[in-house]
Amino acid sequence: MICSGSSTTQISAIADEIEDRLRKIGVKNYHREGANGQYWILLDFGDLVVHVFNQETREYYDLERLWGDAPRLTVNEG
């Protein structure tokens, strides 16, 4: 999963919320790379890897291009 935040505070909050919600349903986080003040946080849940970027870093690394043939899913809060 690839997503963006508009500030380092928001990036951290997004990553924290993803970890909290997945923990509540029993999904273990195997690794977290990056911390407060970072422009990119990676969360590794085994079957799911989450990248939370600021927009500039997301555009620079362009992971969507590397995964261009993978199916895209839209996640809505529900």
77 domain-assigned: no
Domain that holds residue 21: 2-66
71 domain-assigned: no
The CATH number of the domain where 39 resides is what?
A: 3.30.460.10
pTM to 2 decimals?
A: 0.83
Give 58-74 pLDDT, tens digit per residue: 999 999 898 888 887 77
76 domain-assigned: no
Residue 38 is classified by DSSP as -
Question: Quick check: 41 and 12 in contact, CB under 8 A?
Answer: yes
39 domain-assigned: yes
| Number of domains within the chain | 1
17 domain-assigned: yes
Give 8-17 pLDDT, tens digit per residue: 999 999 999 9
Of 14, 16, 1, 11, the residue nearest 57 (C-alpha): 11
